[in-house]
Homo-oligomer: A and B are copies of this chain.
Amino acid sequence: MRVMTEKNKEDKKEHILSIAEKVFAELGYEGASTRHLAQEAGVNMAMINYYFGSKDGLMKAVLERRITGMRNSLVEVKELNIPSWEKLKQAIDLYLDRVMENNSFHRIIYREVSLTQRSDMADFISDNILKNINALKDIVEEGIQNGAFRHVDVEMVIASILGTKYFIVNSPQISSRLLKKDFQDQDVMEKEIKLRIKKFVHEYLQAFLLNNDPQN
């Protein structure tokens, strides 16, 4: 038996977390049994309760691992002293980068909030997502106030930005066939689809949002 030092213990928890993230995305929370989660991670079933208290605790640990720090980056961009249009582009690129890097995680959280039933888990998720959304919203509203953007429906602009990536990331079976790309290959997705989404979002926002009238 290998020696399990303090360093290796954290490795093990991290290992279980990363496997669980994939399995939850693959089968859903209810569909992923603790036995299957343990088997996939190559650990005894009791280890899940030993390290995370419960299956619910494991799920929350998976969520918290990714949510921490997400908002700070967006707020940083929001407070940059650059033109609104550049600011919005940077925020969108940052958001898309993070989403595409951890697409399993984003499938999980939107799957959970798609349920009507309220729970502390769903509340925790939607609270955090809403904070990120509001950072984006602030940037757009700022651009409208300083005349860079037209007077558009701000909430709908946000919904269309998030929705576009949401559709592509959360329904891979459909979007991969629409975009004719195999999303099983992580590399293809990160290098090609990400650029394609960014290019499209930039272009349609430029056409719809930017105020080209120098009068205003």
Chain A interface residues toward B at CB < 8 A: 25-28, 30-31, 107, 110-111, 113-118, 122-123, 126, 129-130, 133, 137, 152-153, 155-160, 162-168, 170-175, 177-179, 196-197, 199-200, 203-204, 207-208
From A26, A116, A166, A200, name the one whose CB has the most chain B CB atoms within 10 angstroms: A116
Tell me which residues across on chain B come within 8 A of A200, comparing CB atoms: 152-153, 156-157, 160
Q: List 12 A-B contacts (CB under 8 A).
A: A28-B28, A110-B170, A111-B114, A114-B170, A130-B177, A152-B203, A153-B199, A159-B175, A160-B167, A164-B164, A167-B167, A204-B207
Tell me which residues across on chain B come within 8 A of A122, comparing CB atoms: 173
CA distance A203 to B151 in the complex (A): 12
Copies of this chain: 2
Tell me which residues across on chain B come within 8 A of A196, comparing CB atoms: 153, 156
The 7 closest A-B pairs by CB, nearest first: A163-B163, A163-B167, A30-B30, A156-B200, A163-B164, A207-B208, A204-B208
Other-chain residue from B117, B159, B178, B207 in contact with A130 (beta carbon distance below 8 A) = B178
Tell me which residues across on chain B come within 8 A of A118, comparing CB atoms: 173
From A30, A129, A156, name the one whose CB has the most chain B CB atoms within 10 angstroms: A156
Q: Is the CB of A173 within 8 A of B203?
A: no
A114-B171, A173-B122, A174-B129 as given contacts; A197 in contact with B156, CB under 8 Å: yes
Rounded to whole Å, the gap between the CB of A153 and the closest CB of chain B is: 5
Chain B residue, CB-CB nearest to A172: B116
Tell me which residues across on chain B come within 8 A of A116, comparing CB atoms: 25-26, 107, 172
Tell me which residues across on chain B come within 8 A of A25, comparing CB atoms: 115-116
Rounded to whole Å, the gap between the CB of A111 and the closest CB of chain B is: 5
Tell me which residues across on chain B come within 8 A of A197, comparing CB atoms: 156
Chain B residue, CB-CB nearest to A162: B167
Chain B residue, CB-CB nearest to A109: B171
